[in-house]
Structure 1
């Protein structure tokens, strides 16, 4: 089944993004090149469908990924003709310019244009976000981080910005800050089904946003625990939190591969280290479960991962949509437990 143009294509695999971009000529040809914004004109023409403009936005993203700059520009022209140069359309125009830039000099020019736009309107959130993305792509992580903090001072409830800040901290090895920022995402959108997370790919179409955020928190906790290689109170606390987060992610989504993968990884490490649970530091701390519980969690994760890998590899009905790289990683993790010469 071809992916829908109504859904954002940012997390689609390249093949599916190409499928979407190939629809651009037919959609552009079958749609009017201009649509009047006049209320009077709308009385004498067919009803305007809002889905058309969503399709144009998503086509721009897919066409830029596949190098079809011409179709992307035509979609932008139609958005400009309908809505003018509003904040959202300006950001899409900047995205196209970034994709067409040939060198850092051209990117610096685009960055200056963003600065000029923000001088005229410092509340232009889409341009602020494009500027941050451009700074990061140019390797200016410190500037990108400062710009993100400024954005969050202005809009502290922006879960997407908190997620981006978490990923930025993670890329610099600042695990406590990355965990704090991702916890803000969870606070702002505890039950979201559509949290856009720059650091997390959906491994199945119906994995909800909260599952992804809990799993990402578990990953950050695990990396924070194992970064130093020292087993101490901080290690136990972080690993206990990782177990809690991964368990919550699979509670929210029964077949969430990343959740089971993380749970398998954490419990396997704890069993290998033969870590004994320590007492609580305070009532709010979540302590490690006992060894028998950890073994049961490991067995559960192993069985579920094996089931996902088996059904997904066979393309069984109801098991399609998993990311191929994630399935391969799960298969490799399972193979580490298999006896020599036996493949799961």
Structure 2
């Protein structure tokens, strides 16, 4: 293990020296684009765990732009990659204090809290962020995922509804909300899940997950509506049959022989009228 660590450190030093030589000779040829290149190399070095390379490049930028908030963000990213979370949070807090509208620093702060396992704190931080940046679709999606982790399904559903408002023609957003409503259970949530699964299939008829979800919801509603003469029970039963037939048709089109017959599995789960 010790030999492996020494070899890895030596390799990192060699790569750092190589990059510095390349930068010294060729960097000025890129003009103003060199800073974009440096940023890409820093993040690539962090992805490859070449922290020495990233540190050297950050040092060069610090000398050229002392006090730059963007360079400070690179330092925070380096500390985060090295799992020095408290130091990274201190730098991010100083960036936010200097510029309250710095969205990137606020989002990195959420990422650090999530990496530490502080999910509730990350949720609070991200909710505060969305009060200021309400149109950030990725932030709403992340908040939805965090709420699902702590089983706050009602709040996750609210986030999914916000995503639909931002992307009403994205079938995956409707499918996500339908999945959450199905998980919450109850007749009212099942009816809502049925509606959103249908909308997802209307936007993308090839969405097999939405098709299977519609079958499960409809099958569940058939069991809830006990009266055989109920119009809602008949509607749910017809939807379950339709979803089953569509799945069988798509499986025939795919001519899949390697997987079990999904239509037969659905048939075994379906309830008789």
TM above 0.5? yes
Contact 2:215 2:240 in 1 (8 A): no
Mapping 1:5-24, distance limit 5 Å:
none
The change in CA–CA distance for 1:337 and 1:95 in structure 2 (over 3 A counts) is same
Match of 2:247 in 1: 301
Match of 1:139 in 2: 117
Report the alpha carbon displacement of residue 88 of structure 1 after superposing the two structures with TM.
6.5
The change in CA–CA distance for 1:279 and 1:337 in structure 2 (over 3 A counts) is closer
Match of 2:40 in 1: 56
- Distance, in Å, in 2 between the alignment partners of 1:89 and 1:258 is 44
Contact 2:153 2:184 in 1 (8 A): yes
Contact 2:215 2:239 in 1 (8 A): no
- Distance, in Å, in 1 between the alignment partners of 2:218 and 2:181 is 13
In structure 1, stretches of 5+ residues that fail to align are: 1-24, 38-47, 192-209, 226-234, 281-286, 314-327, 340-344
The change in CA–CA distance for 1:71 and 1:266 in structure 2 (over 3 A counts) is farther
- Distance, in Å, in 2 between the alignment partners of 1:288 and 1:148 is 44
Aligned length: 244
Q: Flag the structure with higher helix content.
A: 2
Report the alpha carbon displacement of residue 309 of structure 1 after superposing the two structures with TM.
8.1
Cα deviation 1:93-121 (Å, max 9, x = unaligned): 534432232xxxx1121112111111111
Match of 1:170 in 2: 148
**1:246 correspondence with 2:197:** yes
Match of 2:237 in 1: 291
Q: 2:50 aligns with which of 63, 66, 69?
A: 69
Mapping 1:172-321, distance limit 5 Å:
172-191=150-169, 210-225=170-185, 235-270=186-221, 273=223, 275=225, 289-304=235-250, 307=253, 310=256
Contact 2:157 2:181 in 1 (8 A): yes
The change in CA–CA distance for 1:294 and 1:148 in structure 2 (over 3 A counts) is same
Q: 1:107 aligns with which of 85, 101, 109?
A: 85
Cα deviation 1:223-279 (Å, max 9, x = unaligned): 111xxxxxxxxx1221122222222223223333432343344344445x3645989
- Distance, in Å, in 2 between the alignment partners of 1:94 and 1:124 is 14
Which structure's CA Rg is the greater one?
2
Q: 1:98 aligns with which of 74, 80, 84?
A: 80
3-state DSSP class of the match of 1:190? coil
- Distance, in Å, in 1 between the alignment partners of 2:68 and 2:192 is 44
